[in-house]
Amino acid sequence: MTLAILADDLTGACDAAAPFAAQGLVTVVVLDPLGGAAPRFDDVVVRAIDADTRRLSFRRAAARTVAVAELERTGGARSLYKKVDSTLRGHV
């Protein structure tokens, strides 16, 4: 995997993943990154992750984002991108 996109909700994850998928890159959206149920495929280039942090307090959102980023890094992501909500909702 080359790129992990960390979004605070499902809409953000899908929105950020769509341009990569449209270019033909193998792209997946992960709904529960810390639940252990997200399979990894060798041909995946982009993983867009719904970190589900929008509703959390600043501290919990930051801790969850760091945990997801570390999971993706150790899982093979060479680049991490933190998707910020276009209307600046949630924690930046």
Contacts 24+ apart (CB under 8 A), 30-35: 33/68, 33/71, 33/72, 34/64, 34/67, 34/68, 34/71
Q: Closest by alpha carbon to 5, among 49, 66, 55, 54?
A: 49
The residue ranking higher by pLDDT, 59 or 1, is 59
Residue 62 placed within a domain: yes
Residue 27 placed within a domain: yes
| CB 82, CB 68: distance < 8 Å | no
14: enclosing H helix or E strand: helix 10-22
pLDDT tens by residue, 41-63: 778 999 999 999 999 999 999 99
Residue 50 placed within a domain: yes
Confidence of residue 18 (pLDDT cuts 50, 70, 90): very high
**Radius of gyration in angstroms for the set of CA atoms belonging to the chain, rounded to a whole number:** 12
Residue 44's domain spans which residues?
3-82
Mean pLDDT calculated for residue range 29-47 = 83
Residue 92 placed within a domain: no
**57 phi, psi to nearest 5 deg:** -65, 165
Model confidence at 86: pLDDT above 90: no
- The whole-number pLDDT of residue 39 equals 64
Residue 55 placed within a domain: yes
| CB 30, CB 52: distance < 8 Å | no
Residue 33 placed within a domain: yes
Q: Please tell me whether the overall predicted TM-score, pTM, comes out greater than 0.95 for this model.
A: no
| CB 5, CB 84: distance < 8 Å | no
* Tally of domains within the chain: 1
